[in-house]
Amino acid sequence: MNEAQHNIEGYEVPVHQSLAQPVLLAGVPRSFALFNLTVTGVLTLGFGIWWLSLPIGLTLHSVAVYLTANDPMWFEVGQRHVKHLVNHRYLGL
């Protein structure tokens, strides 16, 4: 196929950039941000150990921002890896 067959007039659709990028919240994937916020909130408000939970939460967030700058899909890849790892343990592999 040559270039003229690939570019047929009237069959081009612009794709908005937001459809191809992951949803980020505070520079990290939204699911990780909600997980980190929940764990930090439970430790801070539920158990009252704010002096430990806040530095841990900020450190995790900083590491996640660094990982997201390199690969925005790292958390989804990790979730999928854990899911398949659990499936392989049940199969005895």
* Phi, psi torsion values for 46, nearest 5 degrees: -80, -45
8-64 residue pLDDT tens: 777 777 888 877 788 888 899 998 999 999 999 999 998 888 899 999 999 999 999
> Can you tell me the distance from the alpha carbon of 17 to that of 14, in angstroms, rounded to the nearest whole number?
9
pLDDT per residue over 54-90, tens digit each? 999 999 999 999 999 999 888 888 888 888 876 666 6
